Each structure stands twice: as C-alpha cells, then as structure tokens.
Structure 1
Amino acid sequence: MQITLSVSNQGSKLPQTHNILCILLLLGDIVGLVLSLSLTFWINWDKNLNTVDPFVNLLFCLLVITGLYLADTYHPDSQISGLRAPARILITNVVVGCILFVILHIIENGEKLALWKWQILLPSLSILTIWTICLRIWAVKWARSQAQNSRWLIVGANKETIEFGKTFLQHNSLGRLVILATPDQNTHELANNHRICVTNLYDLPQWTQQAWSGVVVATPTELSDIQVQQLMQLRLAGVPIYGIPDICENLWYKLPSSLLQDNWLVFSAGYHLTSSSISQKIKRVTDIILASLLFLGLFPLMLLTALAIKLDSPGSFFYSQVRTGLKGQTFRVYKFRSMYQDAEKRGVQWAHEDDPRITRVGRWLRLLRIDELPQIFNVLSGEMSLIGPRPERPEFDIKLRQEIPYYDLRYIVKPGITGWAQVMYPYGASVEDAYEKLAYDLYYIKNYSPFLDLAIAFKTIRVVLLGKGR
C-alpha cells in the first residue's frame, strides 16, 4: 500500500490558519463598520441624519474595506516599505476620508449631506481606525502564538524532505519539525537546527501519542500495515495528513516542481482550465470583454505614455519580443519601450530590478506596470489571456527547460499579462527565481477558478498601488 497516494488529497479540504485569520479580520472590520456608524448615528439622532440615502453609507463601507485590502492589512504581520499594518491603516483611512469628502462635495445637494461629512464620516472613521488597529494588534499576537505551537511530524527522510524542511523554516520562524528517518537516510543538513528533531522511523508509535499540527508522509518506501494503522489513528483523531506536494500547496499556495512526481500529477484533483472546454470559453469571453473595456478606459493614458517615451529617449514607443505561448507556440508580444533603443546590443539578457538599460520614464512604466498595457492587443487577438503564467523568451526557455523539472507545464494554458507568480513573488532574474515563479504558476494551473482570477486581479491592483511592480 502506497501511503502517499492514499492521503494526497486529505489536506486540500482543510482550512489554514492564514485563511481563518483573514476571514476573522474581515468579519471584524464589518462589525466595526456597523458599530461605528450605529454609534455616531445614535449620538446625532436629533439631527435626523438617519434618513440620508443608504447609498452614501454603502459607499463608505465599500471604500473602507477596499482600502484596507489594498493596503494589505489582512496580512497584519507583514511590512511594506517599513510600515506595519497599524501605520498602513492610518494612512489608508485618511486617504479614504479625503476621497469621500471629494465625492460628497461633488454630489452634495442638501444640508444633510454636509452635516453627514462632519457629524458621521469623521467620527465613524476615527472610531473604525482605532478598532481596526486594535484588531491587527490582536491578530499578530494570535498568529504568532499559533505559529509557536505549530508542530509537524514528518514520516520519512529524502531529498524532498530536506527541501521541505528548509522551506518550512524559512516561512515559519517559530514552528517545530520532528523527522522520523531510517538509519540509512541522510538528514545531517537538518539535524543541526534546534527547531528540528531527527529520530528513528521505528519510534513512530510513541510520537503518534502526541499532539500535532499535521503529519507529512515523505517516505520513499511503503510503510508497514502497522505503521499505516498508526497514521490512520492520527487521521481519525482529526490530525491532517499530507503528501509533500499537498502541504506546499496548502501552506504556501505553490507547487515546487522538484517535489512533484508523475503519479501525484496523475491522481491529484484540479486542472479545470485544461480539462473543461466550458471553462476555456468562459475565460476567453471574459478576456475579450474586460480587455475591450480596459483599452477604452486606458486609451488616454496610453497616448500620454507614448508621448512621454518619445520625449525621454530616441526610438519607437512600442517594443516587441518573441515569447513562448500556449503549447510552446511562439508569438510576438507588444510592450511600451522601457529601455534604451540599443539595450540588447550585447545579446539577450534578463531584466534586473535596477537595470541600467532602463530609461527614466521606463522605470516608472515598469513600477506601475504601464509598459504591459499594449499586451491588451495580444489578449484581443487570442495569443494571451489577462491572467496566466507570464510568457518567457524562447532563448531563456532552452536553459530553464534543462534545469527545472516540469517546466513545460506552464505552457498548457495561455500566458497572461499578470498572474499568480507576479503577485506572490518579488522581482527576479535568475534560474532560481524562475523555479520559484514556476511553483506559483503550477499552483495556478492546478487550482484555476474564476475566483482565483478575481483574487489575482485585486492583488495586481494592490501590487501596482504599493509600488511593487515588476
């Protein structure tokens, strides 16, 4: 009996601490909005402001929630430009307040709206700011306590176990691992870390009596019937059991290709975009509609961008490159030129974050991703999608295909203007970075859904607004 196949899908149905925290914070923000508005309306009841158009209150709530999301406050322990969540909340709510003041000033048609700005908006926003900051402080303490108590049991030790252990330690600064290995398995790369305990696989019975956050089965050989029964007791007690690809998918929303195997790819669920013609047609229709709207809405910006490029440096404002697309077919992708005209006189090179070949205007175009806008034409022509893995240059594909397992899987769907890898991984220009981005691309291909596309769209907006464009 091969245990890795029998448990490979168990973890995909289990909620993760990160998701629970995000949902709790969102619900807390909604409760805070209701309480702050109710309190300020109650205080100002004699001014009859409760008859103000409900649209104004709804607009206030939507802008606040959108602002908190775009400021990445649902990751309360992260920093952006040195700012933690409380500082980002303060700045965001000031911006939201200014936007609402401008909107209400434009639509103001009576004394009630004028009073609403000062008697409702300002007090509500102030109360809500205090509420949301306190929520984030609590959330950070809770998340750290959960991480500190995180204990994972790994059954078996091989090169995948070592890679998983390194990744786990990198992502989870407080978690603990217990690795059960046979005497012939080499674990010296992990054994010296104080947060990892390496012991004998035959000690499994005593370890199954303890409490665990989860169990990862990574043994390259079949477990005995007794060992399988011991793991089954843990499973029945509510402890999730994963294979290594599943735990990466559930914890970090990526699928490192070096941890994958053919049999796992065959038996794992997902791949709806490649297996369903209906999903493909819906995605194509959505691409055409949204790309058309984007072109109409952003056409003035595109004209100004073309003018700025021409004034900044000699050469065409458009730039085209051959890229690899669906099923390995090449096509020509169009971008606004962000580099000097002779940028590749020394041959094809990866673009670096502080690349000296980038022009002054080009640096801003890349930061705000405006240089990608001409790819709307590639979407309309059917060569690309709005969302999908970024297309790579054929010259780089040759090397990456040789060094990265399952690299060509990224081309079983159409490439996109933005994608899961672009919103989840920072700027990179190396084989190692390509490996990490492929891990996110494989996650997207396996877990595609319209809701994931929607999440990527919102994350792309946040990446651009926070100046994290690539």
Structure 2
Amino acid sequence: MSLTSYVSSPTSTRLPSVIRSLPVLLLLGDIFGLFICVAIALWLRLGEPLNKFDPFVWGFVLLVLVELYLVDAYHPDRQIAGLRTPARILIGSIGISIFTSALIYLFGAWGNYTLAGRGILLPSLAIFTIWAIISRLYAGKWMRSQAQQTRWLILGAGTSAIKFVQNLLTLNPLGKLVVLAEVGQDTTQKDSHLNCVGNFNDLSNWSQGSWSGVVVASDIRFSEPQIQLLMEMRLRGIPVYRLPDFYESIWYKIPSSLLQDKWLAFSAGFNLMPGYFSMKLKRVADLILTSILLIFVSPVMLLAALAIKLDSPGPVFYSQFRSGLYGKPFKVYKFRSMYQDAEKRGAQWASQRDPRITKVGYWLRVMRIDELPQIWNVLCGEMTLIGPRPERPEFDVKLKEAIPYYEVRYLVKPGITGWAQVMYPYGASVEDAYEKLAYDLYYIKNYSLWLDMAIAFKTIRVVLLGKGR
C-alpha cells in the first residue's frame, strides 16, 4: 500500500475505486493549479512565462501542499473543530502567506529574486485559494452523489454482522445494504439495521446484481454452488471480503474479536517481530532521529518546564510504570500535567476533561509536549518513536481478561506515538482500549517504512490542529 493511501486515507467506506483515489486526484489538481496560478500572476505582473524548473517555484508549491495536508484539505467531507474544508483552506492560506512573507524577508529575497516580489506569490496564492475551495466543494458534492450508489451484499446476520452494519451505515449513511442470513437463522430479534431479505439459498438471485462489494460477515460453510457464485462475482470485478479482511483493507484496523488463531498463523505480515531485520533497522532509525529531534525540541522542553513550575507546585517531571516489550514493566517519563496528588486514590483512567489536569497540563496534552521526555526512553531502548502506546500494568490485568489477543500488542516495543493515536479520538475505557487495539494490530501486521512515515505526518497534523490525546 502506498504512502498516499495512509497519509490521505480515503473515505471510510468501499466506494468505487475512483472515489478511493479522490485524495490523489485532488493532490494532482492542486499541483497543476499552483503552477497555473503562479504562471498567471507572473504573466499579469511582468509579462514573463513561468520557468517550471525553477527551484523557488517548487519550494513554494511544496510549502502550500504541506499546508493543505496539515489542514486536512484532502478530506472534503470532514469537519474539524466545527470548520468545514473551505474555511480550513482559507485559514491555512492566510497562515502560509504570513509564513512565506517572513521567510522572504528573513533571507533577503524580496528585492533579489523576481518571484519573491509582492505582486507574484501572494496574488498567486489568493487565486489558488479560490481554486482549492471550489475544487473541494465540487469534490464533496460528487462524493455524496457517488455514496448514494453504493450497494453492499452482506452474508450473515450474527453479532459481528450487526456491529459491522452499524459501522458501515455510520460512515456511509447514504449507502444501501442487502443482508442474507444463514439458512435456519432466526433474525426476528436482530438489529433493525440488518433488514434481512432472505437466506443463502437466495444467493443465486442476488449474485447477478451490481454490487460495490460482498462481505462474508459470519463463519460460514458454503456449498460448492455458492462458492462458484462468489467466484463468478469476484471475476466480474466485485470484491469479496471476509470480515477481518474488510476491516483491514478498508478501515485500516483489525478488531480482535473477529480473529482466530489460524487467521493469525497463516496471514501475511507481522514483520516487526524480534529478530527480523526491520526491527533492527527501526532501532537504528530511532537512535538517529531521536538525537536530531532532541536538538530541535530542547527549547520547547525548557519552556514547558518553566511553565509547569510557575503554574502549580510539584516536580516538573512525572514517572510511572508502563508495560513494555513482552509486558515487562519499565518506568516512563513525562512532563507533569496533573496536580501533585492526582492519584492519591490509586490508578484511574484519564478523561478528556479530567479535573486533575492543570491549566498548563491541558495544553501540554493537547500539543503532546508532555510526551517529549519519553525521548529518553527511546534512547535507552525501552520504547520506539512509533508503536503502540504503553499501558499501565494495573489496567493491563483488566484489559487482558476483557479483550481477546490483547497481549499481541506487547510483541513489539511501545511508542511515543502510534497508529491508534492518530486514527482514534480520545477515550479512556475498556471499549476504547478495544478500538485502539484494533489499530495497534493493524500496525503490527502491516508495519512498513511508509506506514511509519504516515504516522509521523499525521502526528504533526494532530499537534498543529490541537487534537492531542
């Protein structure tokens, strides 16, 4: 899977392939639009053609594209802090114009470089902002029209099917579902969302339809004719998924309740286990990147330490035991974000608006600055930059009993940030731990350099948009 599919992950349902490629199409349109807008501004101002090989132009284009990614402009259907995509693009353009102007003055390029003139970059950015907003409005409208055409055939009406259908309808309420129950299965007490229209004996009647995909939502023993029908559908270009494979391929997570030992034994992936070359390479990268990161964040850490001392009495740093590789406890270090006696009643889940959190601590958590002292844990080899977040041993006991395959997450080193942290909103309960484990399992199974890069980019966006957990 490409980096683009992770960094600009598409809408969360299996829409036609062109919709899943919409972020890429928008990216290509933005690159084309930026060059056109700069060329127009240059021609109107100076009457000169654009040199598309000019490194200054490419630097400007890259800067704007990073800004669009950070404001999540490649998901035209999303809202962030109540702001729709056009509003986020406008705010981002204002920020990038200020940043670009500051760089031009800082490096003295204003009077020495043609494209750095007042009448070139800022007008081209203004024109491009209109281009970007209009393209997102049309893209969002088109996505909604295409979502109405999605039709899914669901085979099975058990508990897992109910959960899956609820998720699917939440993420794509415009889609249409047809559910076939197993022969003899009682569906009278099932969830109303299932809307069973028949059983597997009717598969031949429904197999000739036009479907976005077929999802086998139960552990079913198909007859030979039914397998033949499913094969024919797949050869016609209709994807056929087992439930765990759907979650993995489309929603980038693997719910542990759907797993079986044989699936784990024979599935591809899991290349981050101890002894694999990828783990050794990851350790080398951790040491290099962490050393560089420490240089850049040292001023931020000093300011954070000063703010903590001025805000409330108590030490600057806070340490507690967490479960590491193979569940072995280790001491993790963080900037103190709670009042000094916050856990005098014992270990508790941290909530989003936890009254134990100080005023400075709230912002440290939002910007994830409280996690920076864990750089020391990475240098010591107890943690990695990117991996599942370590949990407290007190909570692990309860989670192991409640969540199947929970201990798989400790087959790799815990990380400062991870796939679950950038994909799942804040939560502190057994149910939230189950959802986060689904993302952790996906990361462990599908680890790659591209996925780590995607998590790094998403972490930057989470920090800048104040979506820390």
| 1:365 counterpart residue number | 364
Where does 1:33-432 land on structure 2 (aligned, <5 Å)?
Answer: 33-46=34-47, 54-109=54-109, 111=111, 113=113, 116-188=116-188, 192-193=192-193, 196-274=195-273, 277-432=276-431
SS across alignment from 1:153: strand
Residues 142-163 of structure 1: per-residue CA shift (max 9 Å, x gap): 2212221111112223222122
Question: How far apart are 1:335 and its partner, in Å?
Answer: 0.3
CA contact (8 A) 1:177 1:197 kept: no
CA contact (8 A) 1:49 1:116 kept: no
Counterpart Cα distance in 2 of 1:34 and 1:316: 53
CA contact (8 A) 1:155 1:218 kept: yes
Counterpart Cα distance in 1 of 2:18 and 2:462: 23
- The aligned amino acid for 2:369 is I
Structure 1 residues 373 and 186: alpha-carbon distance in aligned structure 2, compared to 1, 3 A threshold: farther
How many residues were matched structurally?
456
CA contact (8 A) 2:388 2:419 kept: yes
| 1:31 counterpart residue number | 32
| 1:4 counterpart residue number | none
Any unmatched runs of 5+ in structure 2? 1-13
Question: How far apart are 1:54 and its partner, in Å?
Answer: 2.5
SS across alignment from 2:427: coil
Question: How far apart are 1:31 and its partner, in Å?
Answer: 1.0
CA contact (8 A) 1:378 1:384 kept: yes
Counterpart Cα distance in 2 of 1:466 and 1:297: 20
SS across alignment from 1:111: coil
CA contact (8 A) 2:326 2:412 kept: yes
TM-score (norm 1): 0.93
Question: How far apart are 1:43 and its partner, in Å?
Answer: 2.5
Question: How far apart are 1:99 and its partner, in Å?
Answer: 0.7
CA contact (8 A) 2:39 2:49 kept: no
SS across alignment from 2:222: coil
Question: How far apart are 1:166 and its partner, in Å?
Answer: 1.6
RMSD: 2.1
SS across alignment from 1:446: helix
CA contact (8 A) 1:154 1:216 kept: yes
Question: How far apart are 1:329 and its partner, in Å?
Answer: 0.8
Question: How far apart are 1:49 and its partner, in Å?
Answer: 8.2
Question: How far apart are 1:387 and its partner, in Å?
Answer: 0.4
Question: How far apart are 1:41 and its partner, in Å?
Answer: 2.3
Counterpart Cα distance in 2 of 1:287 and 1:142: 42
CA contact (8 A) 1:387 1:415 kept: yes
SS across alignment from 1:321: strand
Counterpart Cα distance in 2 of 1:15 and 1:148: 11
Counterpart Cα distance in 2 of 1:466 and 1:168: 27
Question: How far apart are 1:299 and its partner, in Å?
Answer: 1.1
Q: Which moved more, 1:258-267 or 1:324-333?
A: 258-267
Residues 290-314 of structure 1: per-residue CA shift (max 9 Å, x gap): 1111111111211221121112111
CA contact (8 A) 2:15 2:212 kept: no
SS across alignment from 1:235: helix
More helix per residue: 1
Structure 1 residues 141 and 51: alpha-carbon distance in aligned structure 2, compared to 1, 3 A threshold: closer
Structure 1 residues 335 and 196: alpha-carbon distance in aligned structure 2, compared to 1, 3 A threshold: same
SS across alignment from 1:320: strand
Residues 162-208 of structure 1: per-residue CA shift (max 9 Å, x gap): 22112112221111221111343243465523x84432210000100
- The aligned amino acid for 2:421 is Q
SS across alignment from 2:391: coil
Counterpart Cα distance in 2 of 1:67 and 1:126: 14
Q: Are positions 1:22 and 2:23 aligned together?
A: yes
- The aligned amino acid for 2:236 is A
- The aligned amino acid for 1:169 is L
CA contact (8 A) 2:39 2:50 kept: no
CA contact (8 A) 1:386 1:418 kept: yes
Question: How far apart are 1:369 and its partner, in Å?
Answer: 0.5
SS across alignment from 1:64: helix
Residues 321-353 of structure 1: per-residue CA shift (max 9 Å, x gap): 100011111100000000111100011101111
Counterpart Cα distance in 2 of 1:26 and 1:171: 23
SS across alignment from 2:349: coil
Counterpart Cα distance in 2 of 1:92 and 1:275: 42
- The aligned amino acid for 1:151 is R
Question: How far apart are 1:18 and its partner, in Å?
Answer: 5.6
- The aligned amino acid for 1:33 is L
Residues 94-118 of structure 1: per-residue CA shift (max 9 Å, x gap): 1111111111112225635377332
SS across alignment from 2:106: helix
CA contact (8 A) 1:389 1:420 kept: yes
Question: How far apart are 1:271 and its partner, in Å?
Answer: 1.1
CA contact (8 A) 1:310 1:317 kept: yes
TM-score (norm 2): 0.93
